Homo-oligomer: A and B are copies of this chain.
Amino acid sequence: MHLLYWLDILGTAVFAISGVLLAGRLKMDPFGVLVLGTVTAIGGGTIRDLLLDVPVFWIVDSTDLIIAIVTCFATIVLVRRPNTLPKWILPVLDAIGLAVFVGIGVNKALTQEVNALVAVCMGVLTGVGGGMIRDTLAREIPMILRKEVYATACIIGGAIHALSYLYFELSMPMATLLGILATLSIRLTAIRWRLQLPTFALEN
């Protein structure tokens, strides 16, 4: 699970960057940017911990909080022209962060002895919660409700994770790895070939 620790830090940093980049389009002052970036990075796990009624992770151990804050400042100072980055970098990093966060969420939920359905919900919330708060604060319709196969990837990856642990009796590290790889590969496939489920649109 050592790998998971570093992936978690990577995911936190990536989500913080995504908050800062969105803020950059909205002309916020630097501390406003800091708030938006930090909320994006730690919001999902915070909601999860509140629902599971366990101590909030960044209050117990502030590593992730510090990572988020430092990343925000670094992004503010270093990034001036996000468009000079290769286009695939951010989506791919975001996919890694998402997959890891879903895995961590399912993991933590399962240690609280919840059922599989609740565990998947916690995984999805951990993965998408921060982005939903970010988009809501920035007055956008949350991307995860719209974008190709975003919630879908989390749900399937989380389900594989929870089911392999609870019903196929894989060890937790194996189940976690399997779930993360599932979420990640679905998202990457969707990004690469611009897959999209048929949208649900009602005639009025």
The answer to whether A92 has its CB under 8 Å from any CB of chain B is: no
Residues of B within 8 A of A118 (CB): 58-59, 62, 65
Count class of interface residues, chain A: 35 or more
The answer to whether A10 has its CB under 8 Å from any CB of chain B is: no
The answer to whether A173 has its CB under 8 Å from any CB of chain B is: no
One of B65, B200, B204 near A23 (C-beta < 8 A):
B200
8 Å CB interface, A65-98 against B: 65-66, 69, 76, 79-83
Q: A21-B202, A146-B29 are in contact. Are A35 and B124 (CB under 8 A)?
A: yes
Contact between A115 and B202, CB atoms less than 8 A apart: no
Residues of B within 8 A of A50 (CB): 50-51
Residues of B within 8 A of A141 (CB): 26, 137-139
Residue among A35, A141, A198, A200 with most chain B CB within 10 A: A200
Complex formed: what's the CA distance from A117 to B24 in Å?
A: 25
CB distance from A130 to the nearest CB of B (A): 14
The answer to whether A162 has its CB under 8 Å from any CB of chain B is: no
Contact between A145 and B80, CB atoms less than 8 A apart: no
Q: What 0/1 pattern do residues 28 to 53 of A give for CB contact below 8 A with B?
A: 11111111100000000010001111
Q: A202-B24, A204-B82 are in contact. Are A32 and B121 (CB under 8 A)?
A: no
Contact between B202 and A144, CB atoms less than 8 A apart: no
Q: A28-B145, A51-B56 are in contact. Are A151 and B199 (CB under 8 A)?
A: no
| Chain A residues close to B by CB (< 8 Å) | 20-21, 23-36, 46, 50-53, 55-56, 58-59, 62, 65-66, 69, 76, 79-83, 114-115, 117-118, 121, 124, 128, 132, 136-142, 144-152, 155, 196-204
